[in-house]
Chain A
Amino acid sequence: MEISIIALPLIASIISGFFGKLIGDRNSEIITSLLVSISAIFSVLVLYEVIVNQYQENIIIAKWINSGSLEVNWSMKIDSLSAVMLVVVTSVSALVHIYSIGYMSHDPHKPRFMAYLSLFTFAMLMLVTADNFIQLFFGWEGVGLCSYFLIGFWFKKESANKAAIKAFVVNRVGDFGFALGIFLIFYLFGTVNYSEVFNQISNITDENLKFLGITFNAVDLICLLLFIGAMGKSAQILLHTWLPDAMEGPTPVSALIHAATMVTAGVFLVVRCSPIYEYSELALNVITVVGMSTAFFAATVALVQNDIKKIIAYSTCSQLGYMFFATGVGAYNVAMFHLFTHAFFKALLFLGSGSVIHAFKNEQNLNNMGGVWKKLPYTYSLMIIGTLALTGFPFLSGFYSKDAIIEFAYLRGNTTGYYAAGIGIFTAFLTSIYSWRLIFKTFHGEYNNKEIKIDETHESPIVMLIPLVLLSIGAIFAGFLFKELFIGYEGLNNFWQDSIFFLKPLSTDHPPLWFLLSTPTLVILSIPLAYYLFVKNKNLTEQIANINKPLYQFLLNKWYFDELYDVLFVKQSKKLGLFLWKFFDLKIIDGIGPDGISSIIKKFSLKANKFQSGYIYQYAFVMLLGFSALLTFLIVK
């Protein structure tokens, strides 16, 4: 049963990808959705076993790379951590599969789309069930590949192709760090299997390495290198530029890959490696700072964007930042909890926005929407649920997980911890503002679309609404139901067992009451505030934007990261390539090498030609000259 969780999506992908034409669109949709749904049911069963019976297993499927001391197997590791991920991945994936049947109904390439979705699911499952770093890397690059395929799914769009390549290459920058981390692990431990590495880690905490004359602590270095990989995949600041562009892909893809599953792989990596990270104070602090900066940065950008999907994308980026700073303050289980709840409400928001986009016939600009809440009642109410959950409105799922993160940051008790908690609260406020801005601008106010009449907008078909309803149930109850299990004080040692490692146990104190109340208060207050700013008194918002023009432009242009990278990396690489080719290869190497030699030989032979003039008197003269020179030499001697 365990192996079929992984195998079914792969089979689905093969059937739909290679025989899609043969079996028809509808059949490939049904087969892929069905197989992935079965896989989801099995995953839930496995999670149940893990919760109830503390089930743990490490299944070896086959040998992969065995070279010298390196031994890597295809494997399936089931423990609490991977069981949670299995459920998140397969359940969201199954719902997205079903939703896509409706969403892609006008697309001519349905089997290909379904095949990519299933293939992605397979790769993601390989990632989370790996028992060694190289299989993890396989899944890691595999999901990156599927993301590349799906972002560029509409291959005729130039922007989609560019975004796809950008996503892959930026991820490769992260993977570069990740791969070096794996090499370092192999260098130090002689193995890449989790269990063997984690067992030995306490022996090498004092080991130092020299690189370019600088001495590094080995554990710090491993952690930082792995984290570079995590930054790429989870779109953390500096390596985040690909995620907003990735919204070029169809919306179900954004929900599955760029919200619920793939982008959380970085968080999963850090949690999985908690036995290593716990020994590196430096790396944990770096993660906290990066996570918190991302959370703040992405929230500010989301405030002013006008593309409905881009706002949610930046929101994802920001929430991933929260997860990272949870791991940074050592609260790995809380990070996993937020990952778990986030998967539901963010997928809900994305699929809901897909439903809006569908209703407006592929319109994504907020300024061309508005006033349709009566026309799209289901979508509207479901989006409200998603938004409430995301902003951390009391007793919905985001409330439990996000507030827990802020609390644990506070309880960490060091400077970065306090700092992170403060930024965390402020970002929660920003999150609430931009989320409600999205809702109000989409559904309230006047109807602003000039191309489509308001009567033409329509509610989505039932096949798209059912997944939304199921996700909204998760968005409402996941936090409340799983709180004890994931982050409860008794659940701590029971549920996670040894899949998460704490060097010193998490603090069991409670922060002061004013602190606990501050986030929910801000979140609740921001709703009327947002309503006032974006529905009641729009002029005020415009005035604020006009007064702070440079700041507004700065945010609108996403802090100018893309422009900066273009100047720094893209243009320079092209210049360097041209220089190395035209100047170095063609002028210097060829000019001095083969072409140079052949031209010298040519010159010499032309000169040598002149000696063979054919005139006897010239030859006789040269002979005479030589003869007299020889004679002189002999006489003088």
Chain B
Amino acid sequence: MNFPILSSLILLPSIGALFLFFTKSNKKNNFTIKYVALFTSAVNFFLSIYLWILFDSSTSDFQFVEERIWIEDFINYKVGVDGISILFILLTTFITPLCIISVNNSIKERLSEFLIAVLIMESFMIGVFCSLDLVIFYLFFEAGLIPMFLIIGIWGGARRVYSAFKFFLYTLLGSVLMLIAIITIYWLKGTTDVVELYNSGIDIKYQNLLWLAFFSSFAVKTPMWPVHTWLPDAHVEAPTAGSVLLAAILLKMAGYGFIRFSLGLFPAASEIFTPLIYTLSVIAIIFTSFIALMQDDMKKLIAYSSVAHMGYVTLGIFTIQQQGIEGSIIQMISHGLVSAALFLCVGVIYDRMHSRLINTYGGIVSILPKYSILFMLFTLAALGLPGTSGFVGEFLILMGAFKDNFLVAVIASLGVIIGAAYMLWLYKRVVFGKLINTNLKQMFDLNRSELFILSCLAVPTLVFGFYPDPLINTIEVSISDLIDQYNLKLASKS
């Protein structure tokens, strides 16, 4: 394979962004601008599908590896994918074009700048998921914040500046520590190449501190309790497309990081800190579910539910069970689809009524029937109904957790009850009931692009609910190998 497919995936969106950079954003050009962006991201999506087809799921080795020397003896540009990362790349390339279609209705000003931010972010995110060098990973990981920061800060709502800074402050805090950890690793081992580090391992006495440094960065981005309070604010102020990118892709970087680096590089420390992760995850699931119950702002409610869902993810990863980790990855993919769809659903009615408050609405089912059906589907997926992708992830995670620790699994399962309560209550208050607010009568049902986007998200949500085999097949070998390696390293060192 000589064609550098991964580099193309990373670079293509940026090239599109470069085109947009030279086009002025005005009414006349907006059409062209959108189609350039859409075309670029669509090509990227098909390219990633091609990657998935070529991908060999029978091995856990890194594939499509490219290596170029950047700074002699220090940083190599090295990318490659295995079963763990490839699904995240697909998620990114799938969500981005949908986001670009959705800007139709929400972004009125500086369209080309907005799309540049989106495309650049796509580049960075793909970079995160396929970099095999710690420094490269760090660069992509942190750079990804900048477009998001701008999206919230420029196109956001009334309190956008506060939210943007809160977002930045939180995430920066963890990042600095991770950078120090990466430098330490280079200083210890003389390389930042992930594959080499996997093979040689890191001395047990340094692992705890290094693990904590990585953890501080990942915990903020996940977000785990108690460093989650930036997320509701960021979501509320971000424009719809921003929320979608944030929830669907940005939050997944940390989950991926936990699997790839925390488990892969620091098994001994992971073993020690598992109780910490369990505690925080369980608190996140229960606390934020209760908080979500009381929200009166739709976006905040979904944001809090995201924290709870990511609580399941972190819980599943540290069970170090096949079911737990596979469940976590499927949960992340599913959450990427479902939370994206839910934020888009909120966006749809926000564009029409300019209100995110639940009590503005009520009884819209007779005016927006198509919308109500799709919204119902995603509500059900969010509460983990069997037959949707949400169920597969959640159930596998809890199964894995039960094998490892009864108490944790029991408490985490309680979240399933509260989850049903807040999602159904939200849906009831928005969609069912009598139509009291007469202004709502001016609303119109989904237009063609909205219907298209939501259907695109509905299909995989259902398909992977009934037939998750394509997903599980892709990750199975990589994960069982990861667990074997993990246990091997633990055994050899203790």
Interface residues of A (CB under 8 A from B): 62-70, 74, 134, 137-138, 141-142, 145, 148, 152, 155-156, 158, 161, 164-165, 168-169, 172-173, 175-176, 179-180, 182-184, 186-187, 209, 211-212, 573-574, 576-578, 580-581, 584-586, 589-590, 593-594, 597-598
Q: Are B417 and A176 interface neighbours, CB within 8 A?
A: yes
Instruction: Sample 12 A-B pairs with CB under 8 A, ordered by A number.
Output: A65-B396, A67-B322, A68-B322, A68-B476, A142-B386, A158-B434, A169-B421, A176-B413, A179-B416, A186-B399, A187-B403, A573-B421
A68-B326, A142-B387 given; 12 more Cβ-contact pairs under 8 Å: A68-B476, A69-B322, A134-B386, A134-B395, A137-B386, A155-B365, A155-B432, A209-B406, A573-B290, A573-B418, A577-B293, A577-B294
List CB contacts (< 8 Å) of B220-253 with chain A: 226-227, 229-230
Classify the interface of chain B: helix, strand, loop or mixed: helix
B137-173 interface code vs A (CB 8 A; 1 in, 0 out): 0000000000000000000000000000110011000
Picked from A158, A172, A212, the residue with its CB within 8 Å of the CB of B433 is: A158
CA–CA, A69 and B326, complex, Å:
12
Judged by a CB distance under 8 angstroms, whether B472 is at the interface is yes
Note all chain A residues with C-beta closer than 8 A to B349: none
Q: Are A63 and B467 interface neighbours, CB within 8 A?
A: yes
Q: Are B476 and A67 interface neighbours, CB within 8 A?
A: yes
Q: Are A67 and B323 interface neighbours, CB within 8 A?
A: yes
Q: Are B287 and A580 interface neighbours, CB within 8 A?
A: yes
Q: Are A70 and B323 interface neighbours, CB within 8 A?
A: yes
**Chain B min CB distance to A479 (Å):** 36
Note all chain B residues with C-beta closer than 8 A to A142: 385-387
CA–CA, A183 and B396, complex, Å:
9
Note all chain B residues with C-beta closer than 8 A to A164: 424, 428
Judged by a CB distance under 8 angstroms, whether B480 is at the interface is yes
Given the interface pairs A155-B432, A165-B424, A574-B294, the reply to whether A212 lies near B396 with Cβ below 8 Å is no
Q: Are B472 and A66 interface neighbours, CB within 8 A?
A: yes
CA–CA, A148 and B432, complex, Å:
13
Given the interface pairs A69-B322, A577-B291, the reply to whether A589 lies near B399 with Cβ below 8 Å is no
Which 9 residue pairs across A and B have the least CB separation, nearest first? A68-B322, A577-B294, A183-B402, A138-B386, A577-B290, A581-B291, A155-B432, A577-B293, A172-B420
Q: Which of B292, B326, B386, B434 has the most CB of A within 10 A?
A: B386
Q: Are B294 and A152 interface neighbours, CB within 8 A?
A: no
Note all chain B residues with C-beta closer than 8 A to A70: 323, 396, 399
Q: Are A165 and B425 interface neighbours, CB within 8 A?
A: yes
Note all chain A residues with C-beta closer than 8 A to B480: 68
Note all chain B residues with C-beta closer than 8 A to A158: 433-434
CA–CA, A161 and B239, complex, Å:
31
Q: Are A594 and B166 interface neighbours, CB within 8 A?
A: yes
CA–CA, A570 and B468, complex, Å:
36
Note all chain B residues with C-beta closer than 8 A to A597: 169
Chain B: interface residue count, which band? 35 or more
CA–CA, A594 and B480, complex, Å:
40
CA–CA, A184 and B410, complex, Å:
11
Classify the interface of chain A: helix, strand, loop or mixed: helix
CA–CA, A584 and B466, complex, Å:
39
List CB contacts (< 8 Å) of B269-314 with chain A: 287, 290-295
Given the interface pairs A141-B386, A183-B399, A576-B290, the reply to whether A594 lies near B229 with Cβ below 8 Å is yes
List CB contacts (< 8 Å) of B413-463 with chain A: 413-414, 416-418, 420-421, 424-425, 428, 431-434
Note all chain A residues with C-beta closer than 8 A to B380: 145
Q: Are B472 and A187 interface neighbours, CB within 8 A?
A: no
Note all chain A residues with C-beta closer than 8 A to B321: 68
Picked from A176, A574, A584, A585, the residue with its CB within 8 Å of the CB of B416 is: A176
**Chain B min CB distance to A630 (Å):** 34
B390-402 interface code vs A (CB 8 A; 1 in, 0 out): 0010011011001
Q: Are A175 and B416 interface neighbours, CB within 8 A?
A: yes
- The residue in chain A whose Cβ has the minimal distance to the Cβ of B321 is A68
Note all chain B residues with C-beta closer than 8 A to A152: 428, 432
CA–CA, A50 and B420, complex, Å:
40
Judged by a CB distance under 8 angstroms, whether B264 is at the interface is no
Q: Which of A64, A74, A594 has the most CB of B within 10 A?
A: A594
Q: Are A186 and B402 interface neighbours, CB within 8 A?
A: yes
Q: Are B402 and A184 interface neighbours, CB within 8 A?
A: yes
**Chain B min CB distance to A461 (Å):** 28
Note all chain B residues with C-beta closer than 8 A to A68: 321-323, 326, 476, 480
Q: Are A176 and B229 interface neighbours, CB within 8 A?
A: no
Picked from A183, A573, A584, A586, the residue with its CB within 8 Å of the CB of B287 is: A584
- The residue in chain A whose Cβ has the minimal distance to the Cβ of B168 is A594
Note all chain A residues with C-beta closer than 8 A to B169: 594, 597-598
Judged by a CB distance under 8 angstroms, whether B407 is at the interface is yes
Q: Are B402 and A156 interface neighbours, CB within 8 A?
A: no
- The residue in chain A whose Cβ has the minimal distance to the Cβ of B326 is A67
Q: Are B387 and A578 interface neighbours, CB within 8 A?
A: no
CA–CA, A89 and B280, complex, Å:
45
CA–CA, A597 and B326, complex, Å:
38
Note all chain A residues with C-beta closer than 8 A to B385: 141-142, 145
Q: Are A581 and B294 interface neighbours, CB within 8 A?
A: yes
- The residue in chain B whose Cβ has the minimal distance to the Cβ of A192 is B399
Note all chain B residues with C-beta closer than 8 A to A576: 290
Q: Are A155 and B467 interface neighbours, CB within 8 A?
A: no
Picked from B287, B386, B396, B416, the residue with its CB within 8 Å of the CB of A172 is: B416
Judged by a CB distance under 8 angstroms, whether B16 is at the interface is no
Note all chain A residues with C-beta closer than 8 A to B467: 62-64
Note all chain A residues with C-beta closer than 8 A to B363: 156
Judged by a CB distance under 8 angstroms, whether B196 is at the interface is no
CA–CA, A593 and B165, complex, Å:
13
CA–CA, A513 and B163, complex, Å:
80
CA–CA, A211 and B402, complex, Å:
12
Judged by a CB distance under 8 angstroms, whether B327 is at the interface is yes
**Chain B min CB distance to A355 (Å):** 28
Q: Are A67 and B472 interface neighbours, CB within 8 A?
A: yes
Q: Are A169 and B434 interface neighbours, CB within 8 A?
A: no
Q: Are A580 and B323 interface neighbours, CB within 8 A?
A: no
Note all chain A residues with C-beta closer than 8 A to B345: none
Picked from B392, B416, B428, the residue with its CB within 8 Å of the CB of A165 is: B428
Q: Are A155 and B402 interface neighbours, CB within 8 A?
A: no
CA–CA, A180 and B409, complex, Å:
8
Note all chain B residues with C-beta closer than 8 A to A145: 380, 385
CA–CA, A63 and B292, complex, Å:
35
CA–CA, A137 and B407, complex, Å:
22
**Chain A min CB distance to B123 (Å):** 29
Note all chain B residues with C-beta closer than 8 A to A594: 166, 169-170, 229-230
B319-351 interface code vs A (CB 8 A; 1 in, 0 out): 001110011000000000000000000000000
Note all chain A residues with C-beta closer than 8 A to B424: 148, 164-165, 168-169
